[in-house]
Structure formats: structure tokens, C-alpha cells
């Protein structure tokens, strides 16, 4: 991944406290896994932004290298990668996600 | 498309003690639910656990032979 793509990714990540790299957008998720994340964040009433990786192949591939995570969606909270669909579901079900987000957003 | 046993083999190459179960979610061989139980996950964050499995399936994921992968990891203790 070239430095320009990396810089673009960092800018996108830092543009919102919660940033979701997904297929599609909040209103029209284009993939079941991306939809899982949108539904979870909506149900927690969180403010978050999204980036549609289907609109930018450089970011779509770059984000996988950036976090060493080969799948989409990817969720970042205050710049930290916290997981994809599976992990968000598991953290949501255990209550850990709400706690982690509230702590991160409060600080 | 990937055969279930190939997935088990690929994961066990990296995690020899792993117990692997594979479910084909839509019959097409590329939308899979994979459950992995291994003592190698002990003390690791969920992200690190999943990264290990993704590492083992790097080729299949890169070529999109696996298009969608739902993953569940646990240690033998957690699983009993």
C-alpha cells in the first residue's frame, strides 16, 4: 500500500469518532455483514460515519493491509480498529461494545 | 469455492490442535460459517484470534474463493 493511500485512510479514520468501512452506506448496506454493523450501531444510538469501499478500490484493498484484516466491514473507534461483523456481534451480545463505546466517546 | 475439509486442513497447518467445524451457508461453497476451538487462542483478544484464522485462510480469502466468512473462535475451556 503506497503512502498516499495510507494517508488517505488515516484521514478517513480520523474524520469521525466512529468510522465504519463498509459495502454501501447506512441507508443502503450492500452486504449482510455490513448491515449487521449498521444495525448494531443504530440500536446503540451511536453517531458514526461510513465509507463505502465499493466506491474506491484503493481504499477497499488498502484498509485490509492497514489493519491486517482481510474482510469488510471494519469498525474504528477514535482511530483504533475494534473489529468486523463477527466481533461487533459478539461484543454487542456480551454488553462489552456499549461499554467500550461509551468509555471511548466520554474520554 | 472451497471444500470444507480443505479449510480444516489449512487452519490446522497453523493451529495443529484446532477443532474446526465448517457450515456452508448457501450451498455455494463460498459463504461459510467456521467455528474454531484451539488452545492457541488462550489470552488473545478476539481480534488476534480471528487474525490467526484469517492468516491460515489468507489465500482463500485473497482469491475470494471464500467470499463471506462468519467466524467464531474459542478456547477448549470456554467451549465446555
Question: How sure is the predictor about A88, in pLDDT bands with cuts at 50, 70 and 90?
Answer: very high
Q: Which residue's entry shows cell 483504533?
A: A80
Taking only the tens place, the pLDDT of each residue in B4-49 is 899 999 999 999 999 999 999 888 888 899 999 999 999 999 999 9
User: Is the Cβ pair B50, A81 closer than 8 Å?
Assistant: no
- What's the whole-number average pLDDT of chain A? 96
Residue spans per domain, chain B: 4-74
| A43: pLDDT strictly greater than 70 | yes
**Interhelix angle for A85-94 vs A96-106, to 10°?**
100
Q: Residue A27 belongs to what domain range? A: 3-106
Our CA-based measurement puts residue B16 at a distance from the nearest CA of chain A, in whole angstroms, of: 22
Q: For residue A100, how far is the Cα from the chain centroid? A: 14
Say what the alpha-carbon torsion angle A40, A45, A49, A54 is, to the nearest 10 degrees.
30
How many domains does chain A contain in total? 1
Contact B62 A70 (CB under 8 A): yes
Task: Name the CATH superfamily for B4-74.
Answer: BolA-like (3.30.300.90)
pLDDT at B80 over 60: no
Confidence of residue A51 (pLDDT cuts 50, 70, 90): very high
Q: Does the beta-carbon distance from A86 to B72 stay under 8 Å?
A: yes
ipTM value, please give it: 0.84
The count of other CB atoms within 10 Å of the CB of residue A32 is 13
Backbone angles phi and psi of B20, in degrees to 5: -120, 130
* Average pLDDT rounded to a whole number, residues B57-76: 90
End-to-end CA distance of chain B: 32
Residue A65 near residue A58, CB atoms below 8 Å: no
Q: Does B71 touch chain A (CB under 8 A)?
A: yes
Q: Which one is predicted more confidently, A1 or A55?
A: A55
Residues 48-107 of A with CB under 8 A from B: 68-71, 81-87, 90-91
**What pLDDT is stored for residue B78 in this prediction?**
63
Which among B47, B54, B72 has CB closest to A70?
B54
pLDDT band at B79 (very low <50, low <70, confident <90, very high): low
Report chain B residues whose CB lies below 8 A from the CB of A68: 51
Amino acid at each position: 500500500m503506497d503512502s498516499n493511500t495510507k494517508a488517505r485512510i488515516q484521514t478517513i479514520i480520523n474524520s469521525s469518532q466512529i468510522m465504519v468501512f463498509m459495502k454501501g452506506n447506512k441507508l443502503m448496506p450492500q452486504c449482510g455483514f455490513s448491515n449487521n454493523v449498521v444495525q448494531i450501531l443504530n440500536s446503540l444510538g451511536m453517531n458514526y460515519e461510513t465509507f463505502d469501499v465499493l466506491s474506491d478500490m484503493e481504499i477497499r484493498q488498502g484498509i485490509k493491509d492497514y489493519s491486517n484484516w482481510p474482510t469488510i466491514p471494519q469498525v474504528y473507534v477514535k482511530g483504533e480498529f475494534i473489529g468486523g461483523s463477527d466481533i461487533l456481534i459478539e461484543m454487542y451480545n456480551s454488553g462489552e461494545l456499549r461499554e467500550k463505546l461509551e468509555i471511548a466517546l466520554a474520554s | 469455492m472451497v471444500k470444507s475439509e480443505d479449510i480444516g486442513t489449512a487452519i490446522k497447518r497453523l493451529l495443529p490442535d484446532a477443532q474446526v467445524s465448517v457450515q456452508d451457508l448457501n450451498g455455494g461453497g463460498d459463504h461459510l460459517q467456521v467455528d474454531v476451538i484451539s488452545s492457541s487462542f488462550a489470552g488473545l483478544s478476539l481480534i488476534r484470534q480471528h487474525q490467526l484464522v484469517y492468516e491460515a485462510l489468507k489465500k482463500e480469502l485473497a482469491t475470494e474463493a471464500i467470499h463471506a466468512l462468519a467466524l467464531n473462535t474459542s478456547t477448549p475451556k470456554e467451549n465446555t
